[in-house]
Amino acid sequence: MRLALSRMSAVFILAALVLWSIFLASDAPGRALSFSLLAGCAFGIVLQRGRFCFLCNLRDFVEDRDPTGILSIIIALAGGIVLYQIVLGAWVPIPQPDRLPPGAHIGPVGVVLASASLVFGLGMAISGSCLSAHFYRLGEGAFGSIAALIGAGIGFLMVFLTWNNLYTLTVYSDPAIWLPGIFGYVFTTVISLAVLASIAIFVLKRSKNDDRDRSSAKNISNAEAIFVKRWPPIITGLLVAAISAFAYLRVARLGVTAELGSLVRTAASSSSLIPETLIGLDTVRGCICAVKTALLSPNGVFVIGLVLSSFASALIAGQFRPSWPSLKGLAERFIGEVPMGWGA
């Protein structure tokens, strides 16, 4: 009875999201918001059903030799490479190093990017999860993710305070490297897929075969496989790739970090906590954290759709379990997300 009520609530939530998307699509600017909302809903469901998290999937492989999550990431990258080349090939038929695709996240490559990546990874290891996973787990009732999001917000504030120094140090002169502009679409695609295939072979060779999982999979219904059990890596990976590519084609590159950064920058700017001018930040390609000028934005409704749809998906699967971690767990999430926010 309780599960039935949960599933009815989930249907109501999903229906409300669809109706909201229809309402948003009533004018031209709202169509981008409508699509972004639906993309966020789809992404939240895929994350929740596929347990898609970079750190957690890597940890499962390292500690338990479970290849499921790592394979879903590899498939997502491979599918994304192919789909993005199709989109970019239509927009930029003849790739050139100095002619970057519109709206693509091709940022300056240098010491700052490498350092930020390292800090981001260390923060993720401390926090125990990537930022997108914190959002979908919030939908599952993991309220400790709130501490993680607060920590990430402080990390964004720190990067705004240090940005001008970093930009004048090296970022302004770092090149934006786009491989198809150097090697062409075909060679870049072939080499990228070959590298991913090599990683997949390594993962499969080092993984453990679990016959119990195969036997149990044969005894479940189609409905249970779709709505309760974890989705196979090939389905999860391809759906992540498709959502990402279609969002880029239809609206822009969407993500969970840009909206959080925009909220922090808007609040900090209005409170004069950060420099009035952040040199070059709005021109550097990537998850731009622009000052908000409207209540709703594509990234904002994307995140809203992600959290609410993962909540609905968890209700249907019977996996909504409200929980609050220990003080140590809260501290780890908060402390880990501060460098993650800075590195993002």
Whether the per-residue pLDDT at 26 is higher than 80: the answer is yes
List, for residues 32-76, the tens digit of each pLDDT value.
Answer: 999 999 999 999 999 999 999 888 899 999 988 999 999 999 999
Average pLDDT over residues 119-147: 90
As a whole number, the mean pLDDT across the chain is 89
H-only helix segments in the chain: 2-24, 28-50, 54-64, 68-91, 111-127, 131-139, 145-169, 179-183, 185-206, 211-217, 222-227, 233-250, 257-270, 298-317, 327-343
pLDDT in tens, 206-252: 988 665 555 555 678 888 888 899 999 999 999 999 999 999 999 88
Written in H, E and C, the secondary structure of 113-161 is HHHHHHHHHHHHHHHCCCHHHHHHHHHCCECCHHHHHHHHHHHHHHHHH
Q: What is the model's pLDDT at position 297?
A: 87
Buried b (16+ CB within 10 A) or exposed e, 141-177: bbebbebbbbbbbebbbbbbeebbebbeeebeebebe
Segment 3-27 shows an average pLDDT of 92
